[in-house]
Homo-oligomer: A and B are copies of this chain.
Amino acid sequence: MPTLYSNEASGNSYKARLLASFLNIPLDIIQLDLQNGEQRGDKFLAINPQSEVPTLVDGDLILGLRRNPADITEEALITNWLAFAASWVQYGVFTARAIVSLGETFNGLGTTSTEQTLREAKIRGEKSLQILDQHLGSVEWLVLGRPTIAYIAVFPYVALAPMGDISLEPFGNVTRWIGRIRELPRFIPIDGLDDPLYLRTDRIT
């Protein structure tokens, strides 16, 4: 029986439990005490270094939110990165660029954004660059060992992060990945890749 590391109050864990129930797949559910940091303890970290629930363990297969096991479909592996683009990238480097260079978030908030919105976008932006940089330390193309739509989804706003006053310099693996993309046949650039200040009119000083 597959084991699901879960938490009662976690809606994401609930999604896994709910789907298993609908599909009539019995699960051995192990509750993690997230409030007391059990997900960051050595025992669980050995199972999922990203210390996130839900995590499904079925024999050799370990499925976590951002795990990339070998025996999962190509679509699912790519979808992982599309989700990363739609969440971390969108509410991080995308939002910072929009506020700093375009003057609003373009992110569902209309004109209600504040300095705090920008601070939070930068926090998420830096963290997503760390996640990406760590990942790109061992792979060349994000996923599947070759160019896919995953890098098309992730690359543009990551590469434009300096337009949001987020430096790419600390992230050597990301920078080299951007370089590899730019050298692909038929690559086309976007304004701002080489001049992060091109739209700036002192929107943020």
Contact = CB atoms under 8 A, between A and B. Distances in A.
Interface of A: 8-9, 11-12, 14-15, 17-19, 21-22, 24, 75, 79, 82-83, 86-88, 90-92, 94, 97, 102, 107-110, 112-114, 116-117, 119-120, 123-124, 127-128, 147, 149, 152-153, 156-157, 160, 184-188, 190-192, 199
A12 B113 CA distance: 21
Contacts of A90: 87
A160 B11 contact: yes
A188 B17 contact: yes
Interface residues of A: mostly helix, strand, loop or mixed? helix
A186 B22 contact: yes
Contacts of A188: 17-18, 21
Nearest to A160: B11
A-B pairs with the 3 shortest C-beta distances?
A: A11-B156, A83-B86, A14-B190
B82 A108 contact: no
Nearest to A102: B9
A187 B18 contact: yes
Contact of A120 (B17, B112, B190): B112
A109 B87 contact: no
A124 B149 contact: no
B87 A186 contact: no
A102 B22 CA distance: 28
Given A14-B190, A192-B9, A120 B123 contact: no
A18 B156 contact: yes
Contacts of A22: 147, 152, 184-187
A123 B90 CA distance: 16
A24 B186 contact: yes
